[in-house]
A and B are shown apart, each in its own frame.
Chain A
């Protein structure tokens, strides 16, 4: 692709990669100013995200103060090992994301792409763990056959209800911890347990949505990087993607202890 340099009117050197031919928007003085502006804008956007989650945290704090027994009972039903594993996954993915930015800044394009891919895969792993090991058993009572948590409930497994050739095993009386009006779990001792699950699902689902948004940004960066959009001369969107991914990580760093660890 050949582009025209708006400032000089000369045809650009098509042999150079796209990032070396990048021109800032016409209202910016230069690319460095544009980068600073984008970064300021993105930090402001991250501030709005923090305030969005602040609502969830305030709701958590208020209901925890009002119904401490429900909160203790609720959080004791979460498995810290799955949450902890997810924490590790996100932390490592934050490292690969940061490393990817460094790679693009120093023109190690290939390495940067690999790191982006690794970040994307770990984001996917987080979602799979959340959906298959947490949401699905809690809502439906079905466990994956190889879920280690299944070993706690060997007596309660109903083999007649197994699905997908035994891949999904049904545990009697475990499911039904669905949000709001779909909550049917009969064994709660505290009347406010549904509220705990409401806060749990609201918080984790909105966080999971952010994981998906972050993965979409990573995917876009990944594919565009093959066309030569990012390198030492221009890596704005890579950096923004990284900032966003760290926010996703950060929110989980707060959600994990609040939901899983504090009893």
Chain B
């Protein structure tokens, strides 16, 4: 790897980290607002995404709070009980008002979390920061487009928040017609929300396009395709999906806006249109995009597992190819979201194709577990989160099988089983991987260590809270609790209450993480260049990296996971848990 770390202080533009202020307060603000540095843009994305995560999380807690009690009409008095959410807005809410508030809350939660958090979370924040550094280059291919994509993201998010302030929408995050063509559009709030998703698509396309060109064109000298870290492979695969799938949601949402403003009738059956066409269009994007959400997370897990068990990743090529495999298969399985609105033959075909996804996914999981075997495992927070990911994602993946099987899906579809499955893969998958990645690269981002014990404690709370919240929902769903209902039969009360308590615990855990991070920024120990002993290029860069990432352009001389044979940069052989006679120093052959 680069033999040049930590010796180039005489080199010109190499002073100071990218975080060093450029002058007074306003000069610094202006510098950040107009920066084309991928590191700053990545961090601005991180802040924006975490803020939206906070908003979406509040909406989730509101949904769970409402579900603490079923909505009931007292047979004697006619009074409505259990409308916990609507009571905040109305003195004595009617049933319709109460249901509206509930519908708005879960729509907000879904729309914010999907379009503004999970899709951009890992690629746009961590990916933006790390991809060029891991490739050993100074920036992404198109730095100005990169900044533009951040502004587009912010504008899209502002549209969405505007729609919330105008009263919110209650269509569900999928904007299914006829909900989205017939429900209230006061002040154009529904159009605003749909436009928000449309605009956010542009941001997603620009990021994906930028990453693809960067990977193709800007790898460091000596870095072939199979010398790239697996995180880069994963982000590259998801970028392909972003570029190829997002335009389809673009035209869909555009047609939906036409539908809303001109009643063009393409989706409205009363005008000859076809609501199922909307579903096909929507899922042609939104199914591939769940792999945009999970693939970068899988990339983080590959890197974290290898580094924190100090062991060469098992099956590097298999993991790399399986990312591409998932990207390819993702485009032909969208029909499994609409088994009940298609012919039996089409459903059977889509069901069969759906099972194909299990193959590359299982390839990854088995390789990860093989990597752990006989590794020198350090139970740091990133590692613990990676193990949490393995546990939760496996449950999420396996519960996908009964949903992909026609005969069982007939009973489980549109139930809490689907809700639980989705949260196990998306939250248990992507968000846990994001947490693993955040802790893993936190020292690199900000040059500060976090408090390991406090972070581990918070991870434990998150893990327990998550399972309390969502494992109960598998039971609820298999017993017939439909999704998106504000009310339920009394038999479900205790399970719903456990789930709600769990969600509070989950919120508490994330709040704890926030404090750990803030504490680290304010008073954390100064981070070494390479706290975990990683071998990829970001660990050659300083913590935090200098303005142009490296003092000298790095040259790659060994694989990203050659832990058995290479001492990590910034380490001495006696610090390293592998016998010295097996090792060579980084940079030598």
Contact surface of A with B, Cβ cutoff 8 Å: 25-28, 33, 36-38, 40-41, 44-45, 47-56, 58-59, 62-63, 66-67, 70, 179-182, 191-192, 194-195, 198-199, 201-202, 206
Tell whether B262 is near chain A: CB-to-CB under 8 Å: yes
Tell whether B309 is near chain A: CB-to-CB under 8 Å: no
B209→A41 contact, CB < 8 A: yes
Chain A residues contacting B274 (CB-CB under 8 Å) are 62-63, 66
How many A-B contacts at CB < 8 Å in the complex?
122
Query: What separation, in Å, do the CA atoms of A63 and B277 have in the docked complex?
Result: 10
**Known A-B contacts A52-B250, A59-B277; A202 and B258 likewise in contact (beta carbons under 8 Å):** yes
Chain B residues contacting A181 (CB-CB under 8 Å) are 262-263
Query: What separation, in Å, do the CA atoms of A199 and B272 have in the docked complex?
Result: 12
Q: What are the 5 A-B residue pairs with the smallest beta carbon separation, nearest first?
A: A55-B251, A180-B262, A198-B264, A27-B138, A181-B263
Can you list 21 A-B pairs, Cβ within 8 angstroms, ordered by A?
Answer: A25-B143, A26-B138, A27-B132, A27-B138, A27-B139, A27-B140, A27-B218, A37-B141, A41-B142, A48-B205, A48-B243, A48-B250, A51-B247, A54-B251, A56-B251, A62-B277, A180-B258, A180-B264, A180-B271, A198-B258, A198-B262
B266→A47 contact, CB < 8 A: no
Chain A residues contacting B371 (CB-CB under 8 Å) are none
Chain B residues contacting A191 (CB-CB under 8 Å) are 272
Chain A residues contacting B272 (CB-CB under 8 Å) are 63, 67, 70, 191-192, 194-195
B266→A198 contact, CB < 8 A: yes
Specify which of A38, A44, A58, A201 lies most central, judged by the most chain B CB atoms within 10 Å of its CB: A44
Chain A residues contacting B213 (CB-CB under 8 Å) are 37, 40-41, 44
Query: What separation, in Å, do the CA atoms of A210 and B273 have in the docked complex?
Result: 26
Chain B: CB-nearest residue to A205: B258
A201→B139 contact, CB < 8 A: no
A55→B143 contact, CB < 8 A: no
Tell whether B374 is near chain A: CB-to-CB under 8 Å: no
A45→B209 contact, CB < 8 A: yes
Shortest CB–CB separation between residue A185 and chain B, in angstroms? 14
**Known A-B contacts A41-B210, A52-B251, A67-B272; A202 and B138 likewise in contact (beta carbons under 8 Å):** no
Contact surface of B with A, Cβ cutoff 8 Å: 132, 137-143, 205, 209-210, 212-213, 216-218, 243-248, 250-252, 254-255, 258-259, 261-266, 271-274, 277, 281, 548
Shortest CB–CB separation between residue B572 and chain A, in angstroms? 32
Shortest CB–CB separation between residue A188 and chain B, in angstroms? 12
Q: A52-B250, A180-B262, A198-B264 are in contact. List 15 more A-B contacts (CB 8 A).
A: A27-B140, A37-B213, A37-B217, A41-B210, A45-B205, A48-B209, A50-B247, A55-B252, A66-B274, A180-B263, A180-B271, A194-B272, A198-B265, A201-B264, A202-B266
Shortest CB–CB separation between residue A182 and chain B, in angstroms? 7
**Known A-B contacts A191-B272, A194-B265; A48 and B247 likewise in contact (beta carbons under 8 Å):** yes
B141→A41 contact, CB < 8 A: yes
Shortest CB–CB separation between residue B149 and chain A, in angstroms? 13
Query: What separation, in Å, do the CA atoms of A195 and B262 have in the docked complex?
Result: 12
**Known A-B contacts A49-B247, A62-B277; A33 and B217 likewise in contact (beta carbons under 8 Å):** yes
Chain B: CB-nearest residue to A50: B247
**Known A-B contacts A37-B217, A40-B216, A62-B274; A26 and B548 likewise in contact (beta carbons under 8 Å):** yes
Query: What separation, in Å, do the CA atoms of A41 and B141 have in the docked complex?
Result: 9
Query: What separation, in Å, do the CA atoms of A233 and B277 have in the docked complex?
Result: 49
Query: What separation, in Å, do the CA atoms of A176 and B121 have in the docked complex?
Result: 47
Chain B: CB-nearest residue to A197: B264
Chain B residues contacting A53 (CB-CB under 8 Å) are 251
B212→A44 contact, CB < 8 A: yes
Chain B residues contacting A58 (CB-CB under 8 Å) are 277, 281
